[in-house]
Homo-oligomer: A and B are copies of this chain.
Amino acid sequence: MNDLRRLPDRVLHDFCVGVFRSFGVPETDARTAADVLIAADLRGIDSHGVARLHTYVDMLTLGRINPTPRVTIVRETASTATVDGDNGLGLVVGPQANRIAMEKAMSAGSGWVSVRNTNHYGIAGWYAMQGLEHNLINWAMTNSTKLVAPLWGAERMLGTNPIAIAFPGREEPPIVVDLATCAAAYGKVEIANRTGKSIPEGWAVDRDGRMTTDPQGMIQGGALLPLGSDRERSGHKGYALGMMVDVLCAVLSGANWGPFTPPFALRQEIPARSVGKGIGHFFGSMRIDGFIDPDEFRAQIDDVVRTFRKTKPAPGTSGPIIPGDPEREAEHERRAAGIPLVPAVVADLVDVARITGVPFPD
């Protein structure tokens, strides 16, 4: 852990802005994209932050992502819309579509936006949190490249398809739900693989569909398991949630779904057929005052937070935490001490600097 390098979030943010700008991404879009990306690093979700910048750069270099998309509404009602992202960065398309959902909420009470023809959009939690300051309850989902087997399946058919939603408190911090619908993150399998450890039963199957504790078994053509893991512990529920996210993001918008969702990395297999455009997102936004007085709601959220913190703890734990606590604590620490970068990520960023000509801070 000694070779971790720490950089202030502002420095990394500026670097990302410069990198996106170098591909012709407009200033405002570049800043937004950097906001979303750095939010992942600040909140401790390292897999979705600057660790992915090289892939964005690869896709932009190859012309596989449009740096100057014209994001359009292709169909709408007072409270719904389908948005075409014009194959832009998800980090640019996502925030625009999220804003459309919020604008519809302001005028119609709620807004629901399904997005097609877009790309990887960073952490779902960022989008959910955009409503907090405005007395809005925001939802965010996205589909992604196949990595997860449906229960009783022996192959990758679904992405890790996250669900996020955030609820503002008054004096207490918000409740921020942000979860992938699989039993464990792929990054955890990779870490076990790098450190030569086995993975717990319930995370993955191998290429034959057998439960495996060998990270290589999953990595080499195996699959992650859905939340719930096996039939006994309700793996069918995580699978159903993953399929729900896929339908809302992709079938509803006309994007690619399930095993046909295009990969985000260059080395991954190209899907057998195309059933839509790009990947898909789904955003929702609801005015709290469309249901209840926002002050009353926020006071009750405070009560929920305090009540759940007082739960009698299970042995060997300090008791339940509130969804969003770990990420907020990470952000607090990282804003002060800087964002820790492992050597592989530093090397990646140095390479991005070489490709783009944007200086990476020494």
Chain A interface residues toward B at CB < 8 A: 75-82, 108-110, 112, 114, 137, 149-155, 157, 163, 165, 167, 175, 177, 179-184, 200, 202-203, 205, 208-210, 227-229, 232-234, 236-241, 243-244, 246-247, 251-254, 257-259, 275-276, 286-292, 296-297, 300-301, 303-304, 307-308, 311-315, 317-321, 323
Which residues in B have their C-beta under 8 angstroms from that of A288? 252
**Shortest CB distance A241–B (Å):** 7
Per the bound structure, the CA–CA distance linking A232 and B197 in Å amounts to 14
Residue on B with the closest CB to A317? Answer: B152
> Are A253 and B292 interface neighbours, CB within 8 A?
yes
> Are B292 and A252 interface neighbours, CB within 8 A?
yes
> Are B233 and A233 interface neighbours, CB within 8 A?
yes
> Are A183 and B234 interface neighbours, CB within 8 A?
yes
> Are A307 and B258 interface neighbours, CB within 8 A?
yes
**Shortest CB distance A303–B (Å):** 7
Copies in the complex: 2
**Shortest CB distance A119–B (Å):** 20
**Shortest CB distance A280–B (Å):** 11
Which residues in B have their C-beta under 8 angstroms from that of A241? 163, 177, 179, 241
Which residues in B have their C-beta under 8 angstroms from that of A151? 320
Given contacts A76-B290, A79-B79, A80-B290, 17 further A-B contacts (CB under 8 A): A77-B109, A77-B290, A79-B108, A80-B110, A80-B291, A153-B312, A153-B320, A179-B237, A229-B229, A236-B321, A247-B304, A251-B297, A252-B288, A252-B291, A253-B291, A258-B308, A259-B307
> Are A287 and B175 interface neighbours, CB within 8 A?
no
Name A301's contact: one of B153, B175, B251, B296 (CB within 8 Å): B251
Which residues in B have their C-beta under 8 angstroms from that of A275? 300, 303
> Are B314 and A149 interface neighbours, CB within 8 A?
yes
Which residues in B have their C-beta under 8 angstroms from that of A319? 152-153
Residue on B with the closest CB to A252? Answer: B291
Which residues in B have their C-beta under 8 angstroms from that of A237? 179-181, 227
Can you list 25 contacts pairing A with B, beta carbon distance less than 8 Å?
A77-B110, A79-B108, A82-B292, A150-B311, A152-B319, A153-B311, A153-B312, A153-B314, A154-B311, A179-B237, A182-B234, A184-B232, A200-B233, A203-B233, A205-B314, A209-B312, A209-B315, A236-B323, A243-B304, A247-B301, A247-B304, A252-B288, A252-B292, A252-B297, A253-B292
Which residues in B have their C-beta under 8 angstroms from that of A228? 183, 227-229, 233, 238
**Shortest CB distance A76–B (Å):** 7
Name A152's contact: one of B238, B301, B313 (CB within 8 Å): B313
